[in-house]
Amino acid sequence: MKNFLKYFSLAFICFFIAFLLGSYTFLKFNNGEKNLIYNNINKSVEKDIKLSEKDKKEKETEKPINSLEEGIERSDRINFILLGMDDIRTDTIIFASFDRECKRVDFISIPRDTYVYRKGYEKAEQRKINAVYGDHGIEGLKKTIEYMLGEAPVHHYVMVDYKGVENIVDSIGGVEVYVPFHMKYEDPTSKPPLYIDIPKGEQVLDGKKAVQFLRYRKGNNNKVGYKEGDLGRIKAQQEFLFSLLNKSLGARLPLVVKSSFEHVNTDISLNEALKYGKEAFGIDKKDFKFSTLPGVASYRTIEGKTLSYYIQDELKTKEIIEELYKVSKKVPME
């Protein structure tokens, strides 16, 4: 069992998007040179915000968007991929899209077993999206996801290690969740050894228990687990993260940022984080929407090896992305 970060990196994009809620306070903890950096960045951010307000007024009189390509071209959305790593494989992939105009974040979880075809990679295990990063790096993964999502651009990536998970949860005094069944699992061969024992019911999980909750798949007897398999697990993870975000977006956020920053790997610069954060100022829990890439689980045999894959529903995916980019729905001719 090596699912170190299943769906937890989802939370981090919220921290970066809403970074400014705590970053001003965070930077004020320091003085001297950092205050000078803060002042310079703040001026740049304020200039960008004024420009975006002007763009918003102009958009009010714009014509309807008739295609996804047009929607992407006219949109000011910023898109991220959130990655939780299992060695060189991506155990977690989440597409997060920040609508700067409406102050809303849409999250689309992409199951790690999602089927992808890459020419020259013919083995069964190479047909899963979680293998792309190991072969092509972050840029290859970004291009793959863009292709899957109708060429919606991926502007940034965010990675986090599981020590950061513990720090975040502990910094806010734990997270309240409902555990749907008794989670019990042992794997002494794991590095470090893994022992999970969380009773059923409503409870507050500390950092270590939270990591166990996020890593759990099924018991040693393979009988106790989520009825819907990985999709059921995704739902539970999202409910956990929603609870965490609800508790984090407020006075505790500076502590969250400070305690977890060193455990995050991202290409988001401080200037960009401040800019996005200021645009997201005042964001509320109701402004987060969670969903999963449309599709179904299916077994396929490739080169004599049978594996379970998640087969993407491309038509429904297109509908979701078009909705994000405000593409006008065509009314059928009678």
pLDDT one-digit tens code per residue, 195-237: 899 999 999 999 999 988 887 878 887 778 888 777 777 788 7
pLDDT band at 27 (very low <50, low <70, confident <90, very high): very low
Estimate the crossing angle of helix 9-17 against helix 19-28, to 10 degrees. Answer: 70
Q: Fill in the amino acid letter for 170.
A: D
User: Is residue 29's pLDDT more than 60?
Assistant: no
Q: Is residue 80 within 8 Å of 11, Cβ to Cβ? A: no
Lowest pLDDT segment from 31-35, 75-79, 237-241: 31-35
The residue behind tokens 């792309």 is 132
Lowest pLDDT segment from 2-16, 199-213, 272-286, 290-304: 2-16
Q: Is residue 319 within 8 Å of 291, Cβ to Cβ? A: no
Residues pairing with 93 in the sheet: 83, 110
Average pLDDT of the segment spanning 269-298: 81
State the average pLDDT for the chain.
Answer: 79
Q: Which residue has the higher pLDDT, 334 or 264?
A: 264
User: Is residue 299's pLDDT more than 90?
Assistant: yes
The SS3 call for residue 206 is coil
Would you give the end-to-end CA distance of the chain in angstroms? 55
Q: What CATH number was assigned to the domain covering residues 9-168+252-324?
A: 3.30.420.590
Q: Which residue has the higher pLDDT, 10 or 146?
A: 146
The SS3 call for residue 65 is strand
Taking the model in full, what pTM does it have? 0.76
Which pLDDT score, from 0 to 100, does residue 316 have?
97
Residues 53-98 have pLDDT tens digits of 555 555 555 689 999 999 999 999 999 998 877 666 777 788 999 9
Which pLDDT score, from 0 to 100, does residue 332 have?
53
